Amino acid sequence: MATAPEIPEIVFAGTEGGAVTDLDAYVQAGGFRALAKARAMAPDEVIEEVSTSDLRGRGGAAFPTGRKWSFVPKPEQLPKPHYVVVNADESEPGSFKDREIMERVPFRFIEGCLIAAYANQATHVFIYIRGEYDRPFEVLRDALEQVRARADLLGGVTIVLHRGAGAYICGEETALLESLEGERGQPRTKPPFPAVAGLYASPTVVNNVESIVTVTPILELGGAEYAQVGVENSTGTRVFSLSGNVVNGGNFELVSGTTLRELIDVHGGGIAGGRRLKAICPGGLSSPILTADQVDTPLDITSLAEAGSAIGSAGVIVLDDRCCMVEYALRASRFYEHESCGKCTPCRVGTRWLSQILQSIEDGHGTQADLDLLLDVCDRVNGKCLCVLGDSDALVVASCLDKFRDDFQAHIDLGRCPFEESPLAGVLAPAVQHERRFHRELDVIPA
């Protein structure tokens, strides 16, 4: 077992003594210097600095943040209000990094918001925070109160903290914008892209919490300096959320390109109970599953793409050899079925159908033909949907069947699930409590 190397903390720097929730303490430790530095530059120079850092979006799509900002038409080209929207609707199963970022470094995050507002010439920043995130909401609310007392820091920018109402789909940027506008949380068709017509049909940048918080050190260090850390295409550090059958779950800020093995064995303390690793979900539930022999894959954009998966939101879920992969696929599919917004046909219908097929296999009623049907339905969902929610279900289910076909075959051959003590209930919780309330509501519709 390797020993832990020195961790160059960038996002969580300065939190050795705990969360930094006092503005004065943050300022004394050098806080808001990055903002001052940014405001001494032209907005375009700030964007250039972020582009130089090669910061990739931390929400899941890994789009270069600097390039995203450069797409926003300048106010003189498009004389409308410009907005910065921060996606803090962290709902991806296996991902809980934004929660800790907002709780531990709220001022670094707010500083990043103000830098983004300056770079994009926005007057308003909207932080759309997941409704269930009570503690991060309180921390941010208190931090914003402190910042609001300092007009010099705000520089005329209004920051609005908006709580979501419990919909995974509102983490999709256009559904988030719809929800923020008070509409039903459903994705919009693109084009037009938010950069041109986002919130209230005005130019809008939508960034993940971790992307925004990282902008602060990028300005502090300089883009080139930041890009020294990490590997090509994946510069800097990332906050990995580690969960599942490991000894020590939690968030770990590591240099991009660290291997899965190091994350699991060194930082996570290995598999609990001395069991064998079976599968790894490397980037939040929506990333296709990896097998145990892919444990040496480095955690960066290129390597994971080559391994047939994705870095996603860097939520690593570890599964040991007791896990039933049919059950994993079923729990994943039930999640997407539950969270599908219902707007487009393939997702609305396909996620439910996939769950039904998987349930039948898991219950031991599956046939050989069901395996082909399962793959075919995945194929018919994937790439046909309005947003990536349905695609994710199809990709995850197909990857489980592809890589753990023996598990599926065993269910069909035995006519039951061969895994008697599958611990998945503790890894991916079902959405049952919502379902129950939901059906009650349906019952009251008059005939």
Partner 1 sequence: MSELVTLTVDERQVQVPKGTGLVETAAAAGVEIPVFCYEPRLGPPVGACRMCLVEIEGMPKLQAGCTLTAQDGMVIRTAATSKKAADGQNATLEFILVNHPLDCPVCDKGGECPLQDLTFRFGPGTTRMSYSKLTFDKPIPISPTIALDRERCILCYRCTRFSAQVAEDEQLVAINRGAHSIIATFEDEPYRAPFSGNVVELCPVGALTSTQYRFEARPWEIQNVPTVCGLCPAGCNVSATTREGRVKRILSRNHPEIDRGWLCDKGRFTYPHLYAADRVREPLVRRPRRGLEPVAWEEALDEVERLLREAGGHVVTALSGTETIEQAYALGRLLREGLGAHSAVLPESTSSALDAFRAPLATIGSAELVVVVGDDAVADRAPIVDLWLRQARRSGADVVVVGPAGAVQVAPGEAAAALQALLDDGSELGARLRSSERAVLIWSGPGGGGGARLAEAAHGLGFEGRPGCAAFHLPASPNARAVAEAWSCAADEDESDPEPIRLLIVSGDEAAGSASVRVLAEQAAATVVIGMFQGLAGGWADVVLPATSYLEREGTTMNLEGRLQRLRRAVLAPVPDELAWLSALAARFGVEVPAQAPAVFEELSPRIFGGITEAEVDERQPLAGRAPYAPPPPAAETKVAAPAAPTDEHLLGELRLVRYRPLFSGPQVERVPELQFQRPEPVVELAAADAERRGIVSGDLVSVRSNGTAVDLLARVDRRLIAGVARVAEEHAGDLHVGVEVVKR
- Where on the chain is the footprint of partner 1 (CB under 8 A)? 167, 169, 184, 189, 337-346, 348-353, 356-357, 360, 373, 380-381, 383-386, 438, 441-442, 445-447
Contacts for 313 with CB less than 8 Å, ≥ 6 apart: 58, 59, 60, 90, 92, 94, 95, 97, 208, 241, 283, 284
State the minimum distance, in angstroms, from the CB of residue 178 to partner 1: 12
Handedness of CA 2, 99, 355, 341 (dihedral sign): negative
Question: CB of 308: closest distance to partner 1 in angstroms?
Answer: 17
Shortest Cβ 363–partner 1 spacing (Å): 12
E strands within 119-180?
124-129, 158-163
> Closest CB to partner 1 among 162 and 384?
384
Q: Which is nearer to partner 1, 383 or 415 (CB)?
A: 383
Q: Quick one: which of 351, 355, 354, 295 has its CA closest to 319? A: 295
Residue 29 or 349: the one with the smaller Cβ distance to partner 1 is 349
Supply the minimum distance, in Å, between the C-beta of residue 302 and partner 1: 18
In the chain, how long is the greatest CA-to-CA distance? 69
Quote the CA–CA distance of 10 and 340 in Å, as a whole number: 35
| CB closer to partner 1 out of 39 and 352 | 352
Taking the complex as a whole, how short is the minimal distance between the CB of residue 356 and partner 1, in angstroms? 4
* Nearest alpha-carbon partner for 318 in 267, 367, 354: 267
Among 422, 230, 421, 250, which residue's Cα sits nearest to residue 331? 422
Neighbours of 7 (CB within 10 A): 14
Find, among 206, 181, 220, 179, the residue nearest to 83 by Cα: 206
Closest to partner 1 by CB, 151 vs 442, is: 442
CA-based nearest residue to 434, from 167, 178, 171: 167
CB of 393 to partner 1, least distance (A): 11
Residue 129 beta carbon to partner 1: minimum distance, rounded to whole angstroms: 20
* Between 14 and 430, CB nearer to partner 1: 430
Instruction: Report the SS3 class of residue 209.
Output: helix
Q: Least Å distance between CB 234 and partner 1?
A: 22
Distance separating alpha carbons of residues 150 and 26, to the nearest angstrom: 14
Residue with smaller CB distance to partner 1, 214 or 340: 340
> Facing residues of 230 across strands?
235
Q: Quick one: 253 or 337, whose CB is closer to partner 1?
A: 337
Q: Are 19 and 104 in contact (CB under 8 A)?
A: yes
